[in-house]
């Protein structure tokens, strides 16, 4: 709780200390008269055609009028001419697990609203901070969230579900996230979803069977794998669950059945959250560019005074690795370590995932643009990468923008009993005055969403850039998934006689990766990756040439080594940075030759 209060205090204090300029666009003080933006081409987030020479009227923290050149505005308004510029809504990341260190990253990338899928209080996102985030002057995006997790167990009765719901709804969530749907919890899931819909809330989350969870009341399908699993035969599903298949994406190949599933879901009003950057970003033709973009962000010295370095380093590696579901490889596996056939398998999975996403939109579906950051990508920047990958998949730039604005924001209103517009995600009368000013058209090239000149939140222009020590630096885990630290359980052989010729040692354990290195007394050995639980290494004869010295030698009359104990050689496994590390050690015993001969003779 102390960290949360400190973070909240820092956000507000930094805003108060910001040095203000008086050129209109960077003015931070609350406007005393209406503000009017004129001359820009407006892309309002609804999918309507762009409005050239738009007039955008802002009074306080809301848009009060939006239209073409003839739109009227108060005569005393402050007018800012944006001729030649392009205006889009403040972007919305509808799937995050945001932490305090993400705030400025989001704003600098034009993201003014984020949907947080963790309870208030987790990751430093206190209730107080969530409430304060709605204020224009607070230097963070607006927070919308689930308030708390909904505890759902397979054996719950309908009355127990209702009791839990009554406790949960009192915390005033903006939408709902239920535990992953599966065959075991389907009845309790359906009861919970019915209550949430009655309360006008959108139901989001993971699923092991997307068509079935949608029938049970799920509105937003998180990730694509729930559809892939639904397309598997029972034998294929068992094979997938036991690590026999590289990737679920290869099961999206039956176009007829894919169409049937999509049409059924769209008939029930479902939205799709594909998270392409997270799932298969390294397979994109944009991967090398995206890697460079991430590197450029983490070169900012002010940002890195508070952003976790280990997370930055591990996120950089994601564009050279891929998530795998096969026990033949670690997760993630470097692309350079894949067999050619398997590399092609991942390319096929990516292509089929792209085709599924495009088909969803072609058939009239809406995409919830969300990234799953910060543990899988760079907050804010990933929003632009996701839009670029949606366009790469075949969506239009307009559709990609809608995914990261109004379509995503509709999670707040899609289940309301009466038709309602969300407070964010579009530039229109009554919405929060959140927008981004660009120097080039995103409809001509989706990459132009990065050409940000100014960002507005609640009628206030945000001072762009990073503030040293914006929040307290915290220790976090690496990217998800990340390189594990290995653990050893056994070696074979575990004993050798001194003077043994070079030999092969087999190392058993967990957390092995294709680049793991076996070390013998801290010296690296030539290592062969067998699988995620087994490594083999070649140990030279010099390592075990003698059974001495050892720790059981004491001053006194000379005796043969091995009387009181054996020399041991330390065996460890090392996984490289940014995560990884060195395993525990297992001892290889080096048996004295005289003792081995006596044992052989039975003495």
For every residue of 127-167, DSSP letters joined together read HHHHHHTTSTTSSSPEEEE-SS-----TT--HHHHHHHHHH
> Collapsing DSSP states into helix, strand and coil, what is residue 38?
strand
The ranges of the chain annotated as CATH 2.60.40.10 are: 487-601
**Pair 25, 31: CB distance under 8 Å:** no
pLDDT means per 10 residues, the chain with 603 residues, are: 40 40 39 91 98 98 96 96 98 96 97 96 87 95 94 94 97 96 97 98 98 98 98 97 97 98 98 97 97 97 95 92 94 94 98 98 98 96 98 98 98 96 98 98 98 98 96 84 90 95 97 96 96 96 86 68 81 92 95 80 53
Q: Which CATH class is domain 487-601?
A: mainly beta
Angle at CA 137, nearest 5°, toward 131 and 142? 40
The ranges of the chain annotated as CATH 3.20.20.140 are: 88-461
Please, what is the angle between helix 287-297 and helix 309-317, to 10°?
170
Label residue 283 exposed, middle or buried (CB < 10 Å: 0-12, 13-18, 19+).
Answer: buried
pLDDT at 559: 66
Q: Which CATH class is domain 88-461?
A: alpha beta
pTM of the model: 0.90
How many other C-beta atoms can be found within 10 angstroms of the C-beta atom of residue 370? 29
Please, what is the angle between helix 255-267 and helix 340-362, to 10°?
40
Strand 55-59 versus strand 35-38 pairing type: antiparallel
pLDDT at 16: 40
pLDDT at 24: 31
pLDDT at 556: 66
To which residue do tokens 């507005």 refer?
A: 456
Q: Residue 207 to residues 1, 170, 197, 273: CA-CA distances in angstroms? A: 32, 26, 18, 12
In sign, the C-alpha dihedral spanning 171, 177, 182, 186 is positive
Task: Measure the CA–CA gap between 366 and 388, rounded to whole angstroms.
Answer: 17
Nearest to 78 by CA among 40, 39, 35, 119: 35
> Collapsing DSSP states into helix, strand and coil, what is residue 451?
coil
């Amino acid at each position: 709780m102390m960290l949360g209060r400190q973070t909240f205090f820092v956000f507000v204090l930094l805003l108060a200390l910001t040095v203000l300029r008086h050129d209109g666009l960077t003015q931070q003080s609350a406007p005393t008269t209406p503000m009017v933006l004129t001359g820009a081409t407006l892309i309002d987030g609804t999918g309507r055609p762009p409005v050239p020479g738009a007039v955008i009227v802002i009074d306080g923290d809301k848009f009060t009028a939006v239209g073409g050149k003839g739109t009227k505005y108060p005569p005393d308004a402050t007018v800012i001419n944006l001729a030649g510029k392009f205006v889009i809504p403040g972007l919305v990341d509808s799937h995050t697990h945001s932490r305090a260190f993400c705030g400025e990253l989001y704003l600098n990338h034009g993201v003014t609203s984020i949907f947080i899928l963790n309870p208030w209080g987790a990751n430093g996102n206190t209730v107080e901070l969530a409430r304060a985030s709605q204020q224009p002057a607070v230097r963070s995006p607006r927070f919308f969230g689930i308030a708390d997790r909904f505890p759902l167990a397979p054996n719950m009765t309908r009355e127990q579900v209702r009791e839990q719901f009554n406790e949960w709804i009192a915390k005033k969530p903006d939408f709902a996230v239920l535990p992953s749907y599966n065959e075991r919890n389907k009845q309790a899931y359906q009861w919970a979803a019915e209550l949430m819909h009655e309360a006008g809330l959108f139901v989001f989350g993971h699923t092991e069977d997307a068509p079935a969870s949608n029938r049970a009341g799920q509105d937003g399908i998180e990730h694509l794998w729930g559809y892939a699993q639904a397309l598997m035969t029972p034998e294929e599903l068992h094979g997938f669950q036991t690590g026999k298949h590289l990737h679920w994406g290869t099961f999206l190949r039956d176009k007829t059945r894919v169409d049937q599933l999509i049409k059924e879901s769209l008939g029930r009003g479902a939205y799709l959250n594909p998270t392409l950057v997270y799932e298969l970003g390294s397979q994109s033709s944009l991967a090398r560019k995206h890697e460079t973009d991430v590197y450029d962000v983490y070169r900012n010295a002010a940002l890195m005074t508070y952003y976790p370095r280990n997370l930055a380093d591990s996120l950089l590696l994601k564009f050279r690795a891929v998530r795998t579901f096969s026990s033949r490889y670690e997760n993630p596996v470097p692309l350079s370590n894949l067999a050619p056939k398997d590399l092609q398998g991942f390319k096929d999975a990516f292509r089929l995932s792209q085709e599924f996403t495009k088909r969803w939109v072609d058939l009239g579906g809406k995409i919830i643009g969300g990234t799953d950051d910060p543990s899988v990508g760079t907050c804010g920047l990933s929003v632009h990468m996701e839009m670029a990958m949606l366009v790469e998949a075949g969506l239009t730039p307009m559709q990609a923008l809608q995914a990261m604005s109004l379509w995503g924001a509709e999670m707040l209103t899609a289940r309301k009993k009466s038709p309602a517009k969300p407070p964010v995600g579009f530039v229109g009368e009554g919405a929060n005055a959140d927008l981004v000013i660009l120097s080039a058209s995103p409809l001509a090239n989706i990459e132009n969403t990065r050409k940000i000149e100014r960002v507005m939140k609640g009628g206030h222009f945000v001072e762009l850039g990073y503030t040293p020590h914006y929040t307290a630096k915290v220790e976090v885990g690496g990217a998800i998934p990340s390189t594990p630290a290995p653990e050893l359980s056994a070696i074979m052989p575990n004993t050798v006689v001194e003077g043994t010729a070079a030999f092969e040692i087999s190392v058993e354990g967990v957390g092995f990766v294709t680049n793991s290195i076996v070390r013998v007394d801290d010296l690296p050995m030539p290592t062969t990756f067998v699988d995620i639980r087994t490594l083999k290494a070649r140990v030279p004869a010099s390592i075990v040439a003698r059974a001495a010295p050892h720790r059981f030698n004491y001053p006194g009359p000379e005796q043969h080594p091995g009387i009181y104990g054996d020399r041991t050689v330390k065996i460890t496994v090392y996984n490289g940075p940014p995560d990884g590390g060195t395993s525990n050690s297992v001892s290889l015993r080096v048996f004295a030759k005289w003792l081995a001969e006596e044992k052989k003779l039975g003495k």
